[in-house]
């Protein structure tokens, strides 16, 4: 069988999730090429070695430029903080490597556009990790919307709540430094909901937002004092969609009790769809055309073999989880590379998402509506 040599940059949270996906995808899906875990790159040599041993990466390096120079690397996976996405992606594209990059695509639209243009110029396959598109319930929602099941969309409401930053003594990380991350909860969490909004409801034409920082200083983890938090803890905004729908969004890391609560409520002229990531195998559907005496939300357990991606997994009712979303996306990318078909979501989607994110931040600064 043909092989696709993968190199990954970043060995912690996303590095683990993606390593798992490259290892497992060929066991469950018939692929045109088998991903080979060729090379892993991280900054700490000891942790990198442990990571490579655990997940089965063949080689390691602490310098991502070494990956670019290798002839035996076909695909580079960027799982690092946001400030390194653009330099790695642009250098990788110029060297003819296919690229898959974590969200948000970059720190701002300027970097995002450079990445998109470099990838297109090089003619490589480029993918954005917007993994929630690959939750079967979300893919089913997309199919139902495209089939007109909920009619014309009036409202697209999205919240993304976490609570891991409530403690003011939680230390500084790259996520609290605008130079490393671009923005805080906004780019981290709203990147997902903006992408889902574009996927399910269409393009956004204008936004009006607010951003809020609740804890201004946090301790450095090495005990060397306090650092200044330069990113938002929460970002909320209204949006007008090109199709006339109204959007309401909020992303916050200060929602006490909410762990990874991404909830979509989509209200259309003929029905409604509700999704909650904490119950990701389920999709609630209301059909206004049901007989009035039996009308109500029905809860679809999205585990039938006919549901998107599910046929590759377990018998009906045997649920899947968050890690499967990455496996599904890697399957799509391997097929896109080998069959030379467009990958969706691509850097184009990363760029379009970043335009909305930057638009919201501009709006929050100016205190008025901003056109995208």
Contacting residues toward ligand NAD, per CB under 6 A: 9-15, 41-43, 64, 79-82, 84, 102-103, 129, 131, 188
CA dist 247 and 220 (Å) reads 37
CA dist 248 and 47 (Å) reads 41
Nearer to ligand NAD, 245 or 333 (CB): 333
Nearer to ligand NAD, 103 or 307 (CB): 103
- Strands 3-9 and 75-78 turn out to be parallel
- Tokens, residue 13: 């949270």
Nearer to ligand NAD, 5 or 19 (CB): 19
* CA 362, 163, 283, 140 torsion-angle sign: positive
Q: How far is the CB of 84 from ligand NAD (least distance, A)?
A: 5
For the residues of 50-74, what is the DSSP string, one character each?
Answer: HHHHHHT-SEEES-HHHHHH-TT--
CA dist 338 and 321 (Å) reads 27
Q: How far is the CB of 102 from ligand NAD (least distance, A)?
A: 3
Residue nearest ligand NAD, Cβ-based: 12
Q: How far is the CB of 248 from ligand NAD (least distance, A)?
A: 22
Q: How far is the CB of 340 from ligand NAD (least distance, A)?
A: 26
The set of long-range contacts for 297-306, using a CB threshold of 8 Å and a minimum separation of 24, is 297/272, 300/137, 300/140, 302/136, 302/137, 302/140, 303/136
Nearer to ligand NAD, 83 or 338 (CB): 83
Give Cα separations from 44 to 50, 68, 173, 224, 244 (angstroms): 10, 19, 16, 20, 50
Query: Would you call 354 helix, strand, or coil by DSSP?
Result: helix
Q: How far is the CB of 190 from ligand NAD (least distance, A)?
A: 12
Residues in Cβ contact with 32 at an 8 Å cutoff, skipping those fewer than 6 apart? 2, 334, 335, 338, 339
CA dist 104 and 81 (Å) reads 10
Q: How far is the CB of 126 from ligand NAD (least distance, A)?
A: 15
175-179-181 Cα angle (round to 5) = 35
CA dist 372 and 365 (Å) reads 15
Nearer to ligand NAD, 231 or 363 (CB): 231
Nearer to ligand NAD, 43 or 316 (CB): 43
Q: How far is the CB of 290 from ligand NAD (least distance, A)?
A: 35
End-to-end CA separation in angstroms for the chain: 46
Q: How far is the CB of 64 from ligand NAD (least distance, A)?
A: 5
- Tokens, residue 262: 């991404």
Q: How far is the CB of 205 from ligand NAD (least distance, A)?
A: 26
Nearer to ligand NAD, 65 or 143 (CB): 65
Nearer to ligand NAD, 79 or 235 (CB): 79
Nearer to ligand NAD, 92 or 271 (CB): 92
């Amino acid at each position: 069988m043909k092989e696709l040599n993968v190199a990954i940059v970043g060995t912690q949270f996303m590095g683990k999730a993606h390593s798992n996906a490259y290892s497992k995808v060929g066991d469950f899906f018939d692929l045109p090429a088998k991903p080979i875990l060729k090379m892993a790159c991280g900054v700490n040599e000891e942790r990198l070695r442990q990571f490579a041993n655990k997940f089965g990466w063949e080689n390691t390096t602490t310098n991502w430029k070494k990956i670019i120079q290798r002839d035996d690397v076909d695909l580079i996976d960027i799982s690092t903080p946001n400030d390194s996405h653009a330099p790695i992606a642009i250098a990788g594209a110029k060297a003819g490597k296919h690229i898959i990059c974590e969200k948000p695509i970059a720190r701002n639209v300027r970097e995002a556009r450079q990445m998109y243009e470099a990838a297109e110029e090089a003619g490589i396959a480029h993918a954005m990790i917007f993994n929630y598109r690959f939750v079967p319930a979300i893919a089913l929602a997309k199919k139902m919307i495209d089939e007109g099941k909920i009619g014309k969309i009036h409202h697209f409401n999205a919240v993304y709540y976490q609570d891991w930053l409530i403690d003011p003594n939680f230390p500084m990380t790259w996520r609290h430094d605008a130079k490393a991350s671009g923005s805080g909860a906004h780019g981290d969490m709203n990147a997902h909901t903006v992408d889902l909004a574009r996927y399910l409801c269409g393009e956004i034409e204008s936004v009006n937002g607010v951003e809020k920082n609740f804890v201004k200083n946090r301790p450095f983890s090495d005990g060397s004092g306090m650092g200044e938090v330069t990113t938002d803890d929460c970002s909320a905004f209204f949006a007008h969609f090109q199709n006339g729908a109204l959007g309401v969004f909020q992303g916050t890391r200060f929602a006490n009790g909410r762990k990874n609560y991404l909830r979509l409520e989509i209200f259309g002229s003929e029905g409604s769809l509700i999704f909650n990531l904490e119950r990701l195998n389920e999709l609630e559907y209301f059909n206004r055309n049901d007989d009035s005496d039996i009308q109500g939300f029905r809860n679809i357990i999205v585990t039938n073999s006919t549901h998107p991606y599910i046929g590759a997994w377990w018998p009906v009712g045997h649920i899947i989880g968050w890690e499967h979303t990455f496996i599904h996306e890697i399957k799509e990318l391997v097929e896109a590379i080998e069959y030379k078909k467009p990958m969706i979501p691509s850097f184009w989607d990363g760029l379009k998402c970043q335009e909305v994110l930057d638009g919201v931040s501009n709006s929050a600064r100016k205190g008025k509506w901003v056109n995208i």
